[in-house]
Amino acid sequence: MTLPTAPRELELTDTRRRARVPLPEGALSVYVCGVTPYDTTHLGHAFTFVQFDTLVRALRWLGREVTYVQNVTDIDDSILARARRQGEDWQALGRRETVRYLEDMRTLNVAAPDHFVAATSVIPEIRSMVERLLELGAAYATDGGSVFFRIAASPHYGELSRLDRPGMLEIAASQDDADVDDPRKEDPLDFALWKGWSGSSDEPAWPSPWGPGRPAWHIECSAICKRYLGPQVSVHGGGADLVYPHHESEIAQSELATGRRPFVHAWLHTGMTRMDGVKMSKSLGNLVFVRDLVREHSGDAVRLYLLEHRYGDAFDWRPADLESAARRMSRLRVAAAEADRDDGARERFVAALADDLNTPAALRALDGAGGSTVRELAGVLGLTLSGADLAYPPRMTDDDAKATGTDKDQPSLKPDESWGQGTDSTHPQSATGQPVERVDEATADDIGPLGRDELPQTPTRDEKNS
């Protein structure tokens, strides 16, 4: 493949600077906040991950080297609460929902990231980062084994969201794990780094210098970024509802722990998906799920529907728009089977990508093109044109299957860490130091093709639309 001109650099809208910025030279690192595995996969999730997948595909097509990391928040207040409500083990819930998420990504032809990392696989890194923040005086331990970040230690806290203190307090108080009234905190806006074990038998705990407990939400992504991408990241993002408190807090703890600023060169945030003008939300129950849409439409059609919206724009779900996207997808398939025809499509396509990943314009660039030009450019957007969904994640090798105890003939994610065996990082412990009772090894019907692999949304915390 030869580009029509020298590759043009993408400019992306950085939330922190409220401006378009070119990407840094050299190899790029991209991190997107992944799902908390329950109620997966709704259209808001899909919009975020399709857009970031398209960004990575576009960068690589333009000749850039990219390392792409995505997490899964497999330990979290909300997943523990859901597991209790449903009367099941939190790990079994996470595994089942993560498999469902992966199946949905496969259907949408979202390529596997280079590293798909469970938060529970980086417990040692989380503890080390918390220890460093304590040494710096940027955090403090409290009775009960919890540790909080001291926002007064971060002179730039608030630069991403640009919220005033009342605005921060309002959003913080609306989170599922709201703790603004916790009397142990020096400031209501201080946030948890480590949560001391409650003593409940259905709550996991890992040992730490402050007592048994588990990581809090924000520190998980900082630790994963540092381990897999280093102290600074080229592009980091997720849903716009993560700007505060999640990403704001990530900046504060990462920059202080590593001594490097800025933590992120460009913050990208995807717009919220709405129904009847109201943001789709788990708490409101107004969700549209990918698995329901693909009963009547191909994964290509759903993906094209999502790409008809710019990544930063909020949009309303309308079934008629998906019907229109399906018809457009059919026309593209017909054009792809015709003789090759460019008619300036490549030039327009490259210009659209450089224009803040303008996927609607990139799709329009395909109008009038045909043959191999359509196939190539549609492939950059992740469209298969065949009506068939590509395997996601890639099939396992014999060595992978042996290491993880799974059936290699099932599609599976090659784990960064094994789930449920091996090091301290995957073994939650009780206050006595003994492993918490774990779910028995499940059957394939219980957990799907991942076997025992690592598994791989606020103003309200219930969404975590990453």
Q: 3-state SS string over 84-109?
A: HHHCCCHHHHHHHHHHHHHHHHHHCC
Is the pLDDT assigned to residue 445 strictly greater than 90? no
| CA dihedral sign of residues 365, 359, 71, 445 | negative
Specify the higher pLDDT residue, 40 or 312: 312
- What mean pLDDT comes out for the span 371-394? 78
What pLDDT sits at residue 175? 83
Task: Tell me what pLDDT residue 281 has.
Answer: 76
Q: Identify which of 456, 404, 414 has the alpha carbon closest to the alpha carbon of residue 74.
A: 456
Whether 247 is covered by a domain: the verdict is: yes
Q: Copy the structure tokens of residue 298.
A: 């191909």
pLDDT at 176: 79
Q: Which of 216-225, 298-307, 316-325, 427-436 has the lowest mean pLDDT?
A: 427-436
Would you place residue 387 in the very low, low, confident or very high pLDDT band (cuts 50, 70, 90)? Answer: low
Q: Positive or negative CA dihedral for 33, 38, 44, 45? A: positive
pLDDT computed for residue 424 by the predictor: 32
The 10s digit of each residue's pLDDT in 213-254 is 999 999 999 999 999 999 999 999 999 999 999 999 999 999
Does residue 359 fall inside a structural domain? no
CATH number, domain at 220? 3.40.50.620
Three-state SS at 268: strand
CA neighbor of 105 nearest in space, from 313, 302, 378, 305: 302
Question: Which whole number is the average pLDDT over 338-353?
Answer: 96
Inside any domain, residue 82: yes
Contact (CB, 8 A) for 53 and 377: no
Q: What is the percentage of the chain residues whose pLDDT exceeds 90?
A: 76
Asked if residue 216 lies in contact with residue 191, where contact means CB atoms within 8 angstroms, the answer is yes
Residue 426 lies in a domain: no
C-alpha distance from residue 138 to each of 102, 180, 219, 223 (Å): 37, 18, 13, 16
- Report the pLDDT value the prediction gives residue 274, as an integer from 0 to 100: 93
Is 147 among the domain residues?
Answer: yes
CA–CA distance, 128 with 191 (Å, rounded to integer): 17
> What's the pLDDT at 9?
80
Q: How many domains does the chain have?
A: 1
E strand or H helix that includes residue 267 = strand 264-270
Domain range for residue 130? 24-298
Specify if 18 maps to a domain.
Answer: no
Q: Is the pLDDT of residue 435 over 90?
A: no
pLDDT at 386: 80
The phi and psi torsions of 133 (rounded to 5 degrees) equal: -65, -35
* Tens digits of residue pLDDT in 156-212: 999 999 999 999 999 999 887 788 999 999 999 999 999 999 999 999 999 999 999
DSSP state, residue 155: T
**Reported pTM:** 0.84
Question: What percent of the chain shows pLDDT beyond 70?
Answer: 81
In 180-328, the DSSP E strands lie at 191-196, 213-215, 233-239, 264-270, 273-275, 278-279, 315-316
Residue 339: strand pairing partners: none
Beta-strand ranges (E) seen in 115-219 are 115-118, 139-141, 147-149, 191-196, 213-215
Of residues 416, 394, 423, the one with CA closest to residue 224: 416
Mean pLDDT: which of 74-78, 126-130, 178-182 is highest? Answer: 126-130
Q: If pLDDT is split at 50, 70 and 90, which confidence band does 411 have?
A: very low
Tokens, residue 227? 């381990």
How many residues does the structure list for the chain? Answer: 466
Tell me the three state secondary structure of residue 231: coil
- Domain membership of residue 5 (yes or no) is no
- Mean pLDDT value of segment 113-120: 98
The answer to whether residue 316 sits within a structural domain is no
Counts for the chain of helices (H) and strands (E), in that order: 15, 14
Give, in degrees to the nearest 5, the angle at Cα 339 between 63 and 375: 35
